[in-house]
Amino acid sequence: MKTKLLLPLIAILVAALFVNSAPVSSAPRVLFIGNSYTSVNNLPRIFHDVAASAGREPSEIKAVTPGGMTLYQHLTSPGTLQLIDAGNWDIVIVQAQSQEAAMSGELQNWRYYFLKGAAGLYDRIKAGSPRAQIILYQTWARHADYWRDPKADRSIGNDPADMQARIRKWNYKAAALKNDFLIAPVGDAWELNYENPNAIRLHASDNSHPAFNGSYLAALVIYGTIYHPTNLNVVYHGNLGHAEALYLQTIATQATQMSFDPDPEGVP
């Protein structure tokens, strides 16, 4: 991973965050839009428990998470649109299908619908919830074991670093379409973990979906992106031991406070 600590850029982004983002309610109404990467382990519930243990319990959480759903499919789904149009959401977390961003670099059709879906969902959400914070939940690369299979799909990348670089690049391009579309760098947090010599496995056995600790890390990163605390030392640990939870809180804090290269050279 080519990570750059760009301090002037961080200062600009933080300033823009406070200029463009309305204050988040102390008891927000939260909507999750995604698929199995959100529904597995019940990420909305984990987020609720993380937020509640930090004194920011949501007043309501709703989720729409059909398996494999892309952003554009959500944009044309009556079930998703009905929830969006209910309006008055304070926070909306939007999760793309796990391959969309990675495939956008080389496959023009995927790129078109990924960007159209992201921008379209943003506009639809803002129409009914003009003060909502809209968070693009950045997913993660497949586990390294995935690429040991000769049948691995190389259109999403050649290894975990390549896939994550593509995900990062196209998430940034999607978010840049709107001036206050935030990114929760969940996939970047996963990559920070796997770069650690003492990394823990966050993937389930399919090398794609999250184990509970992966969903816990995702919830921490989303929470940190919304509230930007100085640290993520929250009380809620789920079924994790204290040491593992503290380690993941440290990784999440690093990911939400770092600046990542959004367009690495040579990444499609």
Q: Which domains does the chain have, with CATH numbers?
A: 7-257 (3.40.50.1110)
Q: Give the residue from 235, 259, 229, 245 showing the smallest Cα distance to 49.
A: 235
pTM above threshold 0.85: yes
Q: Give the residue from 72, 69, 154 showing the smallest Cα distance to 112.
A: 72
pLDDT in tens, 22-76: 457 679 999 999 999 999 999 999 999 999 999 999 999 999 999 999 999 999 9
Query: Are 234 and 172 within 8 A, CB to CB?
Result: no
pLDDT in tens, 209-241: 999 999 999 999 999 999 999 889 899 999 999
